[in-house]
A and B are shown apart, each in its own frame.
Chain A
Amino acid sequence: MALRGLGRRISIGKRCFSSASEVEKPPRDGKPINLFSAINQALHIALETDPRAYVFGEDVGFGGVFRCTTGLTDRFGRNRVFNTPLCEQGIAGFAIGLAAMGNRAIAEIQFADYIYPAFDQIVNEAAKFRYRSGNQFNCGGLTIRSPYGAVGHGGHYHSQSPEAFFCHVPGLKVVIPRSPQQAKGLLLACIRDPNPVVFFEPKWLYRLAVEEVPEHDYMLPLSQAEVTRQGSDITLVGWGAQLSVLEHACDEAAKDGISCELIDLRTLIPWDKETVEASVRKTGRLLVSHEAPVTGGFGAEISASIAECCFLRHGLQLEAPVARICGLDTPFPLVYEPFYMPTKNKVLDAIKTTVNY
């Protein structure tokens, strides 16, 4: 993973909810570790710093299929880190109940593709608990972790990106990290955030992405996008594993003299419209990219919002239609996965078309 433009990092020494009161500190020590180890570190810290935190899900007691929960059972015991039966709806409902009693329920859905049986619990129970009880109850301590996205050969049911479904649900937060360092900071922020959060982890990067991650406890702010690369001709917005694809496209575009500004949205809802808007006002062009199918994807929301606020206003305007480079409107395919994917070349092509519009 590229470390370029790695932005501010927030560090805190004590357990608290993420909020504006956090102190920004410059990057400190860190060992190069991969993404699953960063998640693992974050979970260790979460359990260490809060005796009311629990980690559970299918096979997590043995370390999980992606090794994210390795060592947690040994360290914190079976009462706090445990396997559940294969029942996603049950896991989500149980987690909501646990969180409603003031605990931090960190539930794992083994693959984002399996989250649909739990959809009802997350959408109808978790997201609306606070609202419909007039703030008497909430499940703010709930964090649902789930690996999402392509892995090169996952096929239909181990590759999907369901983030847009959850972005349609007021009351939830949806967060997706792009790198190990981001993953650790964002996950800790999600766990400590007083709202239910769905945290999707890019499974392609679990082993692939390696970068220096501070060993201490730190959080990164939610609902704050990060400009990871400054540019002047076009704004590129993405999240998760797609960031590295966009990064490569930026490098290629630079060879043709196109200066791209790259934004990692990080939190999808509530999203940081201001950062994106400010960037588009500067560049006049926007490209959004995600792995999920283009129709109804979260890119559509970003496009519409930016068109609303940047179309012929304040003398600054969009100079080209917003480009969306996303997955195709097909089920995630087994063969021809590269055709489906929003690859670097597709992005590059769209950058050129948009800039030369």
Chain B
Amino acid sequence: MPMPFIVTCDTLAKSYRRGKVQALRGVSFEVAEGEMFGLIGPDGAGKTTAFRILATLLLPDSGSVAVDGLDVVRQYAEVRRRIGYMPGRFSLYADLTVEENLAFFAATFGTTIAENRHLIEDIYTQIEPFRERRAGKLSGGMKQKLALCCALIHAPRLLLLDEPTTGVDPVSRKEFWEMLAKLRVEYGISVIASTPYMDEAAQCDRIALMQDGAFLTTDTPRGIIGSYKQRLFRVRSGRMHALLADLNEWEGTQTAFSFGEAYHVTLAPGKDEADLRAYLVSKGHADCDVSEAKPEIEDCFMALAQTSEENEPR
């Protein structure tokens, strides 16, 4: 019987500095074969620690992780053949050329560029004109494409991508995610990716919102949006900077965040739309435009992260 889950993670815990920093506090989750699973959370939430344990580069304090049915601690060598890991920081050899880097990673896994070229075809043709260039001299977007090629060249079952598109422009990001979608559809490769871009989070099958070493919630993007219970208002006026300052000053405001060309506002208990309008008019925003807004993933994330910010040490 085929294994339904590519990753099974059971009460995984990891701390640093003799327990002073709890990076992971007993995290459990499963990733199905062929699934695109997103890890979303603020800096310091524990995402990179999770990736490093999954990639067999870090030992957990307790709990267990299986990749393709194999234990990441006891069977690490076998796990490594089945995963492709793209760390958050550029980790290829800066003094080797594009082609040398790729050939090196292929050779490490006992394969060749030619053998698995089909997996990287779309992306490699974009960087192939620069194959003689040293990896350290590539631009950010090209480094990222090369890193993906190197992570794929041994035909892994699972891709682990730690913020692969940070610092990448919107066009390249779109291409990158189209590439991931294709890898899943055509080759059944599963993906776990973290990202600070909420439009990318929305493209995952399921996402886990992480904070302070724990999963706050794990659901489909639609499910997460559906669980947002607050009434959300979209607010604009002719003086946007003053509007935000005024919103933040009011006791009736629970949260006020920039959202494209408007602000998304939630109200404190007991306050309603009429109170909001009255307050804004009293502050000189007679032209204000208030309407009810549909929440997006980013609203949900901010609602959850807001509490974490309040808990930060002062």
A and B pair up:
no
